[in-house]
Amino acid sequence: MQQNNNEIVLERFNARRRLVHWIHAAAFFVLLGTGLTYVTPGLTFLAEGGIPGTLHRIFAVVFLAVPLIYLVIDPKGFREFVRDSLNFEKSDIGFHLRMPYYILGKTQGIPPQGKLNAGHKMHHIFMGILFVTLGVSGLIKWFGVGHMGPAMLNLMGTVHIISVFVITIMTLGHVYFTVVYWAIPSMIHGKVTESYVKLEHRKWWDEELAPKVKGSSEKSQSG
């Protein structure tokens, strides 16, 4: 916890969480870029040398290894991430009912949210599902040649493309909300301001952070 221009600055994401996030993001965008060279008219010439295909396979392994990397370097953080993402509350319904306003950058009337708001939870769940569909379809396309018939390979190709489309739309939405609510600093240096927390995660502030801040302040004054 720090004091910056009379406003408290708090840690939201530790260095390990941020590292996992950026590994995941980098792997995704490399996969997206290299994959587009195979399915986009006018870009297929880029795939002729085989380099995009090699990069696609390398970063596919990195992408699929991200959960394991997170579990190994920060097991406590991984458990908390899963727990918070699956912790559904009555207030989540109110959040989704006010979603049109939230999209426009307005949080008035939204029930107080915890460390993850209801939108974050749904994003994580759908990203988890897409992670599985992308991984399974991609691995079958990679290793299934010569072992599976054309029908299955074509089906997996369709599943892969649909999954890529949906996860790309979700990623663009994620970037949009990051900009609208200016959450970029939290994924760079891990810090957020008191005003940001009160705006987006009031319940987290009231139930967990405020008592710690008060306790820290009282301890500092008594010292």
| Residue 1: pLDDT band with limits 50, 70, 90 | very low
Torsion sign over Cα 29, 142, 55, 51: negative
Which of 98-112, 127-141, 205-219 bottoms out in mean pLDDT, i.e. has the lowest? 205-219
Give Cα separations from 82 to 8, 67, 76, 118, 131 (angstroms): 28, 11, 10, 14, 15
161: which 2 tokens?
Answer: 């493309």
Per-residue confidence band for 76, with pLDDT thresholds at 50, 70 and 90: very high
Whether the per-residue pLDDT at 39 is higher than 90: the answer is no
At 45 the pLDDT is 86
Average pLDDT for 94-103? 94
Which of the two residues, 138 and 199, has the higher pLDDT score? 138
pLDDT of residue 50: 87
Tally Cβ neighbours within 10 Å of residue 40: 11
Give the per-residue pLDDT at 6.
65
Q: Domains in the chain, ordered, with CATH?
A: 14-185 (1.20.950.20)
Sequence-distant (≥ 6) Cβ neighbours of residue 159 within 8 angstroms:
133, 136, 137
pLDDT at 184 over 60: yes
**pLDDT value at residue 94:** 94
For 89-121, the three-class secondary structure string (H helix, E strand, C coil) is CHHHHHHHHCHHHHHCCCCCCCCCCCCCCHHHH
Please tell me the predicted confidence (pLDDT) of residue 44. 86
Percentage above 70 pLDDT, the chain: 93
pLDDT at 213: 76
Q: How many CB atoms lie within 10 A of CB 185?
A: 14
